[in-house]
Amino acid sequence: MPTVDNTTAVRLIPVSQFSDEQLAAIYNQTRVDYLVPMPMNAARLGEYVKTYDVSREDSLVATTEDGEMLGVNMLGLRKGRAWITRLGVLPNTRRHGVGQLLMESLIQKAEDLSIHFVMLEVIKNNTPAHQLFLKLGFYEVGELLVLRHSPLTHAVDPIVADARRLERHDAMTLVGWDRGTQPWTNQSESLFNAHEVSGLQLELADGSRGWLVYQRQKFLLTRFAFKTEAGDPATVAYALLSHLHNQYPRLDTQVENIQVNDPHLPAFYRMGYVEAFRRIEMWRGTPPPEIQKQ
């Protein structure tokens, strides 16, 4: 049985041995004082596990020998790559090595599966976690934005264009698989696993054209994937957003993990999106050739 601080014995128990209700409670306890709390309930946690291919057998809960909860960490697995997410340690047990033990255990699990490329994101200015990840061999590859857009008091006028709505099948066909090394949340698998995914495709009078694939939840638009096929990306993206928000003026919108150098980004600010917070994207190892950036 591993120890932390060379004194406290720690049990590492697969997440599969806990119900979603128990896991949500554990996770929420670890985030009570977090920079961005992001509380979970059982339904949201179950959807999270499914959407992001989290392995319940390889994800871990840390406890003392007496069963006292210490922390949790989850591992997503896809071809040639792994993702470490939802690392959380109870406030009164931090800085004693629990987080490092959980991280090292998940890295080793990926290695045991012959996966040598691991991804994660850390909220910017979360210095303790950032320093831990650097210590464990992760390196920074860029910054990611989380943007939000409030419901409109009235529908926005859509830009004049030849536009059509795409049902799930057509939207998924456009997304495809050759999108390079996207953040885990935005990878094609995440869109394929999500429910209520559809899209928009349009062409402007000058021949500019592109598409947007998104997820519509009950009260929220989220999980965007853009592509400009011809023309200026910011112009095409603004036209797409104008049609989207004209169709759903009363829904909140949250778009996660847009890379800071994404050429579509100016369209979001023009449409009134605001930055909620930033994440630092970090990798350990080298992406396999089939998913490297194009």
Q: Do 173 and 245 fall into the same domain?
A: yes
Q: Are strands 220-230 and 252-259 parallel, antiparallel or unpaired?
A: parallel
Q: What is the CA radius of gyration of the chain?
A: 20
Q: Do 209 and 252 fall into the same domain?
A: yes
Q: Which residue has the tokens 């696993």?
A: 193
What band does 292 get if pLDDT is binned at 50, 70 and 90?
low
Average pLDDT over residues 159-178: 92
Main-chain dihedrals φ then ψ at residue 289, nearest 5 degrees: -55, -35
Q: Do 104 and 172 fall into the same domain?
A: no
User: Quick one: how many helices (H) and strands (E) in the chain?
Assistant: 8, 13
What band does 176 get if pLDDT is binned at 50, 70 and 90?
confident
Q: Does residue 293 belong to any structural domain of this protein?
A: no
Chain Cα centroid distance, residue 201 = 24
Average pLDDT over residues 276-281: 97
Length of the chain: 294
Last residue within a domain, chosen from 116, 136, 167: 116
Q: Does residue 97 belong to any structural domain of this protein?
A: yes
Q: Return the pLDDT at 161.
A: 97
Is residue 119 pLDDT above 80, yes or no? yes
Q: Return the pLDDT at 232.
A: 98
Between 182 and 1, the more confident residue is: 182
Q: Do 87 and 168 fall into the same domain?
A: no
Q: Does residue 125 belong to any structural domain of this protein?
A: no
What does the DSSP assignment read for 54-116? Answer: B-TTT-EEEEETT--EEEEEEEEEETTEEEEEEEEE-GGGTTSSHHHHHHHHHHHHHHHTT--
What does the DSSP assignment read for 223-257? Answer: EEEEEEEES-HHHHHHHHHHHHHHH-TTSEEEEEE
Main-chain dihedrals φ then ψ at residue 133, nearest 5 degrees: -65, -40
Q: Does residue 129 belong to any structural domain of this protein?
A: no
Q: Do 161 and 253 fall into the same domain?
A: yes
Q: Which helix (H) or strand (E) holds 276?
A: strand 274-284
> Which bin fits 105, alpha (ψ -120 to 50), beta or left (φ > 0)?
alpha
DSSP annotation of 15 reads G
Last residue within a domain, chosen from 100, 116, 132: 116
Domain membership of residue 41 as a residue range:
3-116
CATH of residue 46? 3.40.630.30
In tens, the pLDDT along 137-148 reads 999 999 999 999
In tens, the pLDDT along 77-102 reads 999 999 999 999 988 778 779 999 99
Between 271 and 181, the more confident residue is: 271
Q: Does residue 107 belong to any structural domain of this protein?
A: yes
Is residue 210 pLDDT above 80, yes or no? yes
Cα gap 76→58, rounded to integer Å: 9
Is residue 280 pLDDT above 90, yes or no? yes
- Could you tell me the pTM of the whole model? 0.92
Q: Do 12 and 100 fall into the same domain?
A: yes
Is residue 6 pLDDT above 90, yes or no? no
Between 1 and 239, the more confident residue is: 239
CATH of residue 170? 3.40.630
What band does 63 get if pLDDT is binned at 50, 70 and 90?
very high
Cα gap 210→226, rounded to integer Å: 8
Last residue within a domain, chosen from 95, 116, 137: 116
Q: Does residue 223 belong to any structural domain of this protein?
A: yes
Choose among 283, 160, 146, 118: nearest CA to 224.
146
DSSP annotation of 188 reads H
Structurally, the chain folds into a number of domains equal to: 2
Q: Do 31 and 155 fall into the same domain?
A: no
Q: Return the pLDDT at 294.
A: 36
Is residue 246 pLDDT above 60, yes or no? yes
